[in-house]
Amino acid sequence: MTVRVQEADFDVGAELEALTAGNKRIGGLTVFVGLVREMHVREGLHRERIDALTLEHYPGMTEKALLDIEAEARQRWPLEATLIVHRYGRLEAGERIVLVAVGSPHREAAFGACEFLVDWLKTKAPFWKLEETPAGDKWVAAHEGDDAAAQRWETKAG
Q: What is the pLDDT of residues 32-57, one digit of tens each?
A: 999 998 876 555 555 678 889 999 99
Domain 2-151, classified CATH 3.30.230.10, yes or no: no
Which of 91, 92, 74, 93 lies closest to 83 in space, CA to CA? 74
Q: If pLDDT is split at 50, 70 and 90, which confidence band does 97 have?
A: very high
**Is it the case that residue 136 has pLDDT exceeding 90?**
no
User: How far apart are alpha carbons 152 and 141 in whole angstroms?
Assistant: 20
Helices (H), 77-106: none
Distances (CA, A) of 150 to 13, 146, 154: 28, 6, 7
Mean pLDDT of 52-75: 94
pLDDT for 142 equals: 65
pTM here is: 0.87
